[in-house]
Structure formats: C-alpha cells, structure tokens
Structure 1
Amino acid sequence: MQESKAALGPEALDELDLALVHALQLSPRATWTELGPVLGVDPVTLARRWRRLERSGAAWITCHPGGGPGALGGTSVALVEIRVAPGRIPEVSARLARHRHALNVEYLTGNRDLLITAAAADADALAQYLRIRLPSVPGITGIRVQLPLRLYKDSGAWRLRALDREQRDLLSGPPRMSSRPTRALDDADRALLLELGPDGRLGTAELARRLGTSGVTVARRLARLTAGGQAGFRGEVARSLTGWPVCATWWLRVPAAELDETAARLTASADVRMCAVVTGTANLVVVVWLRRAADVPTLEAEWSGRFPRVEVVDSAVTIQVIKQMGRVVGPNGHATGFVPLDIWSDPLADTEVRP
C-alpha cells in the first residue's frame, strides 16, 4: 500500500490511516518493522503517521486492566444510568469524567441522561463508589445500577474494515489466554498497567526507565499479564472518523433459555460493539455502531422479525461520548486527555483527576 498524497484535515482519515489503525487494533504492540510488510509501507512512514494520529487525538491505544484476580471481573463492574437536574449535564459529566472509577461516560437520549461504566478492584469498593461517592456529586438526582453478569462481546473487539483477509491473517490476533490460574496483581503489576494506560505502545525500555527496573523484567511481567488476560489493549479511533458515527444502545428482555443463542446471533454482526447479560427487567444490553440515525428503527424492525420472542424494553442514542475507557474526548470524538484507570484506589479518599 502506497502512502496517500491526499491532504489530511482534522476530520478525515485516508486509506493508509484506516489500515494502520485496523492493524493496531489487531496487534496493538506490533513493531513498525513487523507492520511494514503487511501494509506495504516502510516503517518510518508508519511511525510518522501514527504520531500524527495520536497527537491530533484521532486514534490511540489504551492499556486497561483485564479480567482476573484483583482486576476487572465479576461484580467489580457496573453499568450505571444517571438522572441529572435540568441544565447541569455539562457540569456533572465533566465532574464524572475526572473520576478514576468511571471508565466510560456517555450522554444519551431517553430515560437517563448519562450512562457510565463504573469499576473498582472488588465488590466492596464498587459498592462504596456507587453508594457514597457517586451520589455526592452535585446535580445527580437519580441512579440506577445494572451488573453485567456475562459478557458476550466487549467494545474493545470492534474493528475497522480497512484490511483484506490476507492482511488480517498476517497479523497476530489477541494473545492466547493462559490455562494456568492467574495470581492477584501486586504493586509492580499495577504500576506497570498504570504507566501503559494512556499509551499501550510504550516500549519496554521506556517502561523500565519509568519503573526503575530492567527491560527484561518489564517484558516478562507484561507477557504474563497479557497471557493471563489481566492486561488488555484496545485500539480506538474518533467515532466521527470511522464511517459509523451513530451509537445506539438497546435494553432487551430475552427468554432465559434463549439468551446464549440470541446473543451469539446478535454478536455475529460486525456493527455490534458490546453485548452483555445484565441484572434487571431487561436482561440483555446491546450497543451498536451505525452509519445513520435512520438505521436505528430499521435495525429494530429487523430484530423483531429475527427474534420474535425478544422484547425491546428501552433504547437510546448516544448524543456525546465524554469519556471512553479512561480517555476524555471532545464533541468530535477526538481524544483530549486521559484519567488513570486506577481502579485500585480508594473510591472515598480518591481525589478527582484533571485530564
């Protein structure tokens, strides 16, 4: 693939940009030398392109705590619907974006004003955040909590469609999970995850310098965390630049015996970004990225034909994403800052972070 000569404005990505982001979604820490032959571009050009995308906030790689002891998993994550007093949504959403325990913050249509993903190191810490810290934010008038019980598709699995099959096959997929039990994270593990958080491509030499250890130690520790699923990486791009600028969320009621089959059929669609079983009247939450707002009722009508026993309890369209896995984003979806994914901090003693 040759580097395009087209001028790239802040609201446009060319073919090479899209291919590069897609490649990094598949292999977030691949070297430029490894990616060069796959994309047909020299490593220097790829490095220059990625620096420009990062600096403009158009694309980024985030490292986040994954499932496993002492990380995200079980009852340590919650989806929280928040009602806000009239006129106070900007103030409240900006305040929540500074919380370490609020990983995602979105402004939605419908029966809730904000939807956040909250996380903590364990169930007790999560309860403290939801019961004490969150209600103390001025302007919040109502909170409804849902616990995800089973995740069928994580939002980090969403991919651009810029590479052909041969290119995708050449790139290494997600690391194979270790079959051995993972141990709880220690202080050194957490420090490594926090350093990698805002830049998942940070090299081992720089990590070693920051952490005061050797590159060999960092590489070994990171390999263990990745293989055990305790360190996750996701490549993101400003949604306004993807071709799928509309995000819609559905809350569905599915007969319990049909949950697995329904979720499998829904997540087979590349447009589905997240699908999870949750507590509550609606037992399945589905998030979809769409090309047009007009596709929302069209998709819902299609589902009614494919899943006659599934009831749509509620739906909403995202008006604005304020925070995305720790990344603070502006109205156009470009990254503007980062709040550490320090889910291990005390939710009551924690101070708000300026991104």
Structure 2
Amino acid sequence: MLIPNGSVFMPPVLTLTGIPGLESVQHWIGIPFCVMYFIAVIGNSLILGIIKYEHSLHKPMYIFLAMLGATDIALSTCILPKMLGIFWFHLPEISFEACLLQMWFIHSFQAVESGILLAMALDRYVAICDPLRHTTIFSQQLLIHIAVAVTLRGAILGAPCLVLIKCRLKLYRTTVISHTYCEHMAIVKLAIEDVRINKIYGLFVAFCILGFDIIFITLSYIQIFITVFHLPQKEARFKAFNTCIAHICVFLQFYLLAFFSFFTHRFGAHIPPYVHILLSNLYLLVPPFLNPIVYGVKTKEIRDHILKIFFSKKLS
C-alpha cells in the first residue's frame, strides 16, 4: 500500500479546531454553553438530592429521573471542559487515546440516556394501562436490572468503535478534527484506509439504540393515549395525561435533536460545517440543561420540594 505524502501513522496527538468558520466568535459562543452546563449540573444535582433524601420519592418514576439526571451530568461533563479549553484558553490538543476515550464516553452515555427514556416510557405505560400490577412489575430488583442493562448496553455497543479505529485505522491524512469534541465519524473521516466497516457499524449502533428505543417509546405512548381517552372520568383523564407531559417533552427534545444532528451530518453535504457542529453540541447540551427545568416545573412533587428548599432558606 502506497503511503501518501503528509500522512501520519498512528498520531499520538490530535487537534480539535472548535467550530470551523466561527473561530473569531468562539469565545462568545462559550458563554451560553457554559451557562447551560452550570444550570444542567446544578439543576440535576438538586433533583438527585431531593430524590435521595425524600423517602416518599423512592418510586420507579423518580428513580428513573435520578438516573437520567446523573447521566445528564456525566454526558455534559464529557464535552464541555475540553470545549471551553478550546474556546477560551486555546488548548486544542488532545492525546489520541484520550480522544477515543472521550468518544466512547459520549456515545455510551447517549445510549444510556436513551435506554432510561425507554424505561421511563414503559414505567408510565404500566402505571396507566395496568396500575394494579405496577408495584409488582417494577420491583426494586427489576430497577437494578434495568440500570445494569442500559449501562452495559451503551458500554458494550460503543466498545467496538474503539477497537475498529485503534486496530484498523493506522494512517491519517491529517491530525486536525474539525469539531469541538471527539465524535466517531469526525475521527473516521481523518483516516486514509477503507472506513466502510466503521461507518456501517456506526449506523448499526445508531439504529440499535435510537431506532429500537424510539419505536418502543412511540408504541408505549400510543397505547397510553388510547387507554387515557377511554377513561370514564374527565378528571382521571386529565391527571393521567398530565403525568406524561414532562416525559413527552423530554423525549421530543432528545430524539428530535438527535435526528436533526444525525441527518444533517450524514446527508447535509451542502450545509455549512458550523451548522453540523452547533447541532451536535446542542444535542449533547440542551437535554441536560432542559430536563431539570421541565421536571422541576411539570412534576408537582419535585416542584414542591424545590420551593420548600428555597422558601425555607429565605425565611431563615
């Protein structure tokens, strides 16, 4: 195999450029991203603390919410410190191994979050469509199994990406990644060798996680809506539907941003690169930022405890 001039064999260090085309304003873009991150960490930590110390909230719905909050904190923390290092401190370099590790963490936590959203949809399905068996079905043992399963699914499905890149891609035409973080396809496109297997596996993982989960979430909510509309009392219908509004908002923001980012990245060749990068960043930062706000506003139990905390502090 001929080695093109200028190619690099197994580069020890890669360079993240940030947002191509917006380099002159990246330091300003970092400000709203930083604000979103701090709100995400503070909001999700507050919800985690409330659920942990309030025994009345030790129910499947709130345990899944705590898992979602912990995942959101981890996911946003995977990308933002390095991103701000690029934007504010001109620190674009990252070791090859650290880049692969960041990529694995990001895609693993994305898969975990999607799995938790699926579990939350199934929890609401059983609670509304078969309420008498809800406590029996969603036992503490099942919750532990779900937590382990969604975590292992994300970690295991993301691991082959590391192996395929590390073992099959040796020569790189450049060490510069036109992105703010180490994303799978952004790394693969740097390679000179045949990358079809990497691309096919990336699509396979996306379908196995996002495709599978969104199909079952959609089916669950179709059945929930059918059940709710057949409830005899108007008040019961309103209460049942109201418990699902926050979940629906969270599902829509996560999956709509995911599909926008996915399709523009793979089929939007005519779209400017900075649009791809901004959508990818928003996909990872907006859900962790909005989820605690949505649940804090729409979930009465969470809202009451938050108001109690701040009201008590004000009185003291």
Shorter-chain TM-score: which interval?
A: under 0.3
TM-score by length of 2: 0.24
The structure in which a higher percent of residues are helix is: 2
Q: TM-score under structure 1 normalisation?
A: 0.22
